[in-house]
Amino acid sequence: MSDRDIFAGGALPARPGRVPGRVKEKLEIFLRSEAVEDGLVPLAATRAVAGRFSLSLSAVERFVLKIGLFPLRYRRQRGLFGTRGQLRLLRARVGVIGCGGLGGAIFEMLVRAGTGTILAVDFDIFSESNLNRQALCSVEGLGRPKAEVARQRALSLNPAVEVIPLVMPFQEPAARQRLAGCDLVFDGLDSIPARLELAAFCAASDLYLVHGAVAGWCGQTAVIPPGGNRLAEFYPAGKASPDNPEPVNLAPTVNAVAAFQVAAGLRFLLGDQAPDSLSGGAFLDLSGPELETWS
């Protein structure tokens, strides 16, 4: 997958993912001169460097971190992530399965945080009944593939993030092959059978899965470690969907559950938390509101 043209928004031939040794010194001098207070480098400077030296913006941001500076756009997460954490995040590769309600909100948060590579997997197109809650859905985007819209959205939010749109079901061999190389997979699906299939795939592929699901004011979330099939325990009656011909899905619920999923995912990717300590779950009822957690 090629990097993107950070200025025009279109696809360009692949740009180097690393700053070549011969320009490092020159780049460092320039970036230090452009840094504002506290070693923060503005987007204008990273973009200028990427353009001038034909580098990907991601490579420039990683270089900024390596020389002890910090991209200004991540300033408000510096205190929690630190240089090491932000670098880890920019090198991370995650899958977002489903780019609708949960998946769209998850995607936006991951893009803003500076997650290196995101595989956006969704075979569907946006339709009118998505407008009430799906972060990536707009009137202009109706009828367009969700995964493609996700990529466009990332270009306007954070062009340093590489998005690989896969307009296909995650069950396709091409999608599975790419997902197998991820650090983490997010469940943004909308049906129980599909979730159980995804959980089985993650279990077999040694992947952590961050599960989320919603119905009305309620939602649940859990980190599913690889190897087992803990998700099946949450659906004890099997694959049957709730007996509701007209699903109710609300923006506050999908955003709340997506926020739990992204928080767990980021803590995992930052590596400052033992993965096993994240493998609990939570049930939210926003009508209360109430929150129940389990280990």
Partner 1 sequence: MRVTVKFFAGFREGRFKSREIEFPGPPTVAAILERYAISPDAVGVVLCNGRHVDFSHRLADGETCSIFPKVGGG
Task: Please report, as ranges, the residues that interact with partner 1 according to CB under 8 A.
Answer: 98, 100-103, 187-192, 195, 212-220, 230, 233-237, 240-243, 247-249, 254, 281, 283, 285, 287, 290, 292-295
Rounded Cα gap, residues 189 and 282, in angstroms: 18
Q: Which two tokens stand for residue 92?
A: 């991370």
CB of 283 to partner 1, least distance (A): 5
Cβ–Cβ < 8 Å for 15, 55: yes
Rounded Cα gap, residues 220 and 285, in angstroms: 9
Rounded Cα gap, residues 191 and 22, in angstroms: 52
- Read out DSSP for 225-271? -TTS-THHHHSTT-SPPPS-SS--B-HHHHHHHHHHHHHHHHHHHHT
CB of 82 to partner 1, least distance (A): 32
CB of 56 to partner 1, least distance (A): 32
CB of 196 to partner 1, least distance (A): 10
